A and B are shown apart, each in its own frame.
Chain A
Amino acid sequence: MSNLFDLLVAGLATGAIYALVAVGFTLLWQTSQTINFAQGEFVMLPAFLMLAAMHVGAPFWLAIILGILLSMILLGLAFKLLLVDPMMRHGVLPLAIATMALAIGIKEAVKQFYSAEASPFPSIVPTGDVSILGHAVSLQSIGVLVVAILAVLGLTTLLNRTSLGHQMQAAAQNPTVARIIGVPVERMILLTFLINAFLVALASLLITPIYLAKFSSGEVLGQAAFIAAIVGGFNQVRGAIVGGLLIGVLDNLAAAYVSTQYRAAVPMLFLIVVILFRPQGLLGRAEERTV
């Protein structure tokens, strides 16, 4: 039993990070039909920005702020203006391919300009264990969970309780009508790109102390977030959160109970089953099919 409890906690902690990344992923899809194949690399990069800031002498807290700001400029603003805007009107596929190329570019740039080796990354949460219900739970897992939950709560409050959030939702659901009633749609889309950049930077800060900073670490993460987004429901923020947690737990349980060799297969099979029997995702609304 204790084993199961530990697995659940660890699974929820990784799942919470997946959820952050998946939420950003669905936001981009909803507002601009961008399938961002570089989302994993988007999580990998901010850690290196922070490491680079520390190399030039910034203390850790300043490096975090600089890292988040830089990633909002690069992965939010520049990504939207330079790549998404010129390609948005040409349909989903060419843009998706362009983000694949972007993923290669980011990976290679980090490898070339920083290092091909894995670098350790300081944790914002102190190491150690606390006892909960007689189980030793690492502070790291708790810290990750708390920060991720706060971020998600903050985001849902923004989306559902503020005028700005309502405008963003309107821009996502029906841009034409939103424009008519005076919502600055372009600015709202830009805002979702900035939020995505913030979320991936946060995820980067949380996950990198656990898995080390490496140029190739985005591949696995991007795929997990991808699956989480689809399983939960591509068009729902709630869905992405549930999907993220579910995939995190499933992944950890599969590693313990199925086999380490086929652990990666479990989320994939789950994905196939969900797509075939409930393509809109567990919590998603059905989208009308074109034609």
Chain B
Amino acid sequence: MSGFARPLKIALGLAVIAGLIIVPMNFNRYGLFILSQWAVMSIAAMGLNLTLGYAGQVSLAQGAFVGIGAYAAAIMTTHGWPLPAAIVVAIVLSFAVGWVLGYPALRVQHHYLAFVTLAFSTLAFLVFRNESWLTGGIYGISNIPRPHVFGLATNKPLPFYYVCLASLAIVSLAMWWLIRSPWGRAFMALRENPLRAQSLGIDTRRYTLMAFAIGSALGGVAGALYAPLTQYIDPVPFNLSLSLDLLMMVIVGGAGFYFGPFLGAMIAVLLPEWLRFTEGYYLMLYAVAVMLLLIWSPTGILGILDRYLAERRTKAASALRAVAKSRLETAQ
């Protein structure tokens, strides 16, 4: 995005944020639900983008972490705990499990890693479904309360949408800081060339585990918001397809781009809704759209923008060079 002038970028960002706050004010219940879902899925996809896009570790288990967070929040809040406490527990739990899941990544890479995480995802689903003493089994957990924020109830859709949006904002800022910190650079070094990263003194072992753990923790945060959003959870939404959907969001938006997950989640959550007028065909059209996009640009939507800006920069640079050259020639 460095092709735009800085004030323009800030203005654009402020306009988007203002839009996200003001426009939904007269949305109906369903519209607000979809937008809240977008915010929640963006958080989960952002976590996966850190693991996959920045640190280069393939994970097909992000959906399982959303599930872990959702069950942690559902169980705790229905037992009278406040939501913030549940979010902290969701973060700690997902972080710890994510850390452990990172160990296979130290031994195997690429598609093998994808399969280990895929197996984990299925195992987690079986635990959600079968351990009914804890998770309610196939009947799930209902009547999940929504939190009070500064003494205000968020039972209505609009206030809870703002809770989701605020959480998204906090996570986004933290991520912005993280990828610019030495840690973020270490993650990228890990992705680009692990051997070189190691020879430069980066503890690749620790950073691989960290990439998994932090990414998973964000999945947990998303889950902890998902539970009060739907107010009822059962194991079905947290099966393997959620992990695959989240992976699709990251790749379609643009893996390794900061704004990739926002766009990817927008396409995965909103595009099917916009296509609803086509009735039974909407998921089919969505699938075709994703395939066409990936054929056109395997690096996702932001990949297209990135290439366009890079081209423009090259053109501008060669124009400058041409000018400089002709000046040199006239001077001679």
Contacts and interface: CB of A to CB of B under 8 A. Distances in A.
Interface residues of B, number: 42
B139 to A, nearest CB: 15
A275 B287 contact: no
A10 interface: no
A97 B116 contact: no
A37 B281 CA distance: 21
Interface string A83-100: 100110011111111101
B108 interface: yes
A104 interface: yes
B281 A272 contact: no
Interface residues of A, number: 41
Given A35-B114, A101-B290, 17 more contacts: A90-B299, A94-B251, A95-B298, A100-B244, A101-B294, A104-B284, A112-B281, A223-B240, A227-B119, A230-B115, A262-B126, A264-B122, A272-B116, A275-B104, A276-B108, A279-B107, A279-B112
Interface string A103-116: 01100110110000
Given A97-B247, A265-B123, A104 B287 contact: yes
> 3 tightest CB-CB pairs across the interface, nearest first?
A105-B287, A94-B298, A90-B298
A90 B298 CA distance: 7
Interface of B is mostly: helix
Given A104-B287, A105-B284, A279 B58 contact: no
Contacts of B288: 101, 105
A291 interface: yes
Contact of A112 (B126, B280, B286): B280
B181 interface: no
Given A265-B123, A272-B119, A289-B109, A102 B287 contact: yes
Contacts of B111: 35, 92, 96, 234
A58 interface: no
Contact of B291 (A93, A105, A261, A289): A105
A89 B16 CA distance: 36
Contacts of B295: 83, 86-87, 98
23 contacts: A83-B295, A92-B111, A94-B298, A96-B114, A97-B247, A97-B248, A97-B252, A98-B291, A98-B294, A100-B247, A101-B248, A108-B283, A108-B284, A111-B280, A227-B115, A230-B115, A268-B122, A271-B115, A271-B116, A272-B120, A275-B112, A276-B116, A291-B193
Contacts of A104: 283-284, 286-287
B130 interface: yes
A226 interface: yes
A64 B131 CA distance: 44
A106 to B, nearest CB: 8
Interface of A is mostly: helix
A275 B115 CA distance: 8
Interface string A218-251: 0000010011001000100000000000000000
Contacts of B284: 104-105, 108-109, 112
A136 to B, nearest CB: 33
A133 interface: no
Interface string B288-307: 10110011001100000000
A186 to B, nearest CB: 19
A269 B104 CA distance: 13
A230 B112 contact: yes
A44 B199 CA distance: 49
Contacts of B260: none
B266 to A, nearest CB: 16
A265 B126 contact: yes
B294 to A, nearest CB: 5
A111 B109 CA distance: 36
Contacts of B251: 93-94, 97
B319 interface: no
Contacts of A272: 104, 116, 119-120
Contacts of A105: 283-284, 287-288, 291
B294 A97 contact: yes
B185 interface: no
Interface in B52-76: 58
Interface string A260-286: 011011001101100110010000000
Interface in A64-93: 83, 86-87, 90-93
Interface string A27-61: 00000000101000000000000000000000000
A95 B129 CA distance: 32
B99 to A, nearest CB: 16
